Chain A
Amino acid sequence: MGDGVGAVFAALADPSRRTIVERLALAGRATPTELARVLPMTRQAVAKHLATLEHAGLVRARREGRHTVYRPDPAPLRDAGAWLDRVGAEWDERLAALARHVGQPPQAAP
């Protein structure tokens, strides 16, 4: 597993951060203050979670006047999907090799 995908999974392992991501996905954009108003968290807690999510690449921050506005970024989840595809392809290859391996006639004893 690459570090990027690992950071994504680690960021999403926390229920509060999943709630923030879902809320951002629905709203399209929000400030920490707006999120704290609708979620059972303090603005400070929201800001801390947003920093973790930003580090994982799941949200993007942009300064707008006096506010920092956050938007969701689905790109890292597409990476996670690509990782699943890769693991599936690995197993296809391995099982084909296994079939070839056991399909071979036993070698004659020396």
Chain B
Amino acid sequence: MQIEREIVLPIPREEAWEALTEPERLEEWFANDVELDAVPGGEGVFEWDNGEVRHAVVESIEELERLVLRWDDDGTVELELVEHPAGTLVHVRETAPEWGIALELHASAAWATA
């Protein structure tokens, strides 16, 4: 199971890549305080003003194309950039391996009426 979102940004791909990978740019939209070493195996720390802190490791990174972070709870976030007539499309996919199992059971009619 995964959550997917898309957004088209009116900027070139190089600029979108900076917004997704540079800590000071990530602090403008992703979290309030960001440390990120955007290299394979690099570590990331994301802090929010509500006290939430999440740790991640760069699972894979392809310049101007794709960044995959693995959270310490084993979920992953994949950020992908695609050329778009209006600028650059950002595709987000957040997954956790166990979701499928939970929702599969949840969808069972017998289970729902139990």
Residues of chain A whose beta carbon lies under 8 Å from any beta carbon of chain B: 1, 6, 8-9, 12-13, 18, 21-22, 24-26, 28, 71-74, 77-78, 80-81, 84, 87-88, 91-92, 94-95, 97-103
Contacts and interface: CB of A to CB of B under 8 A. Distances in A.
B95 to A, nearest CB: 10
Contacts of B29: 94-95, 97-98, 100-101
A104 to B, nearest CB: 9
Where chain B touches its partner, the secondary structure class is: mixed
A80 B107 CA distance: 12
Interface of B: 1, 3, 5, 7, 9-11, 15-16, 19, 25, 28-30, 73, 75, 90, 92, 94, 96, 98-99, 101-103, 105-106, 108, 110-112, 114
Where chain A touches its partner, the secondary structure class is: helix
A60 B25 CA distance: 48
B30 A6 contact: no
A95 B114 contact: no
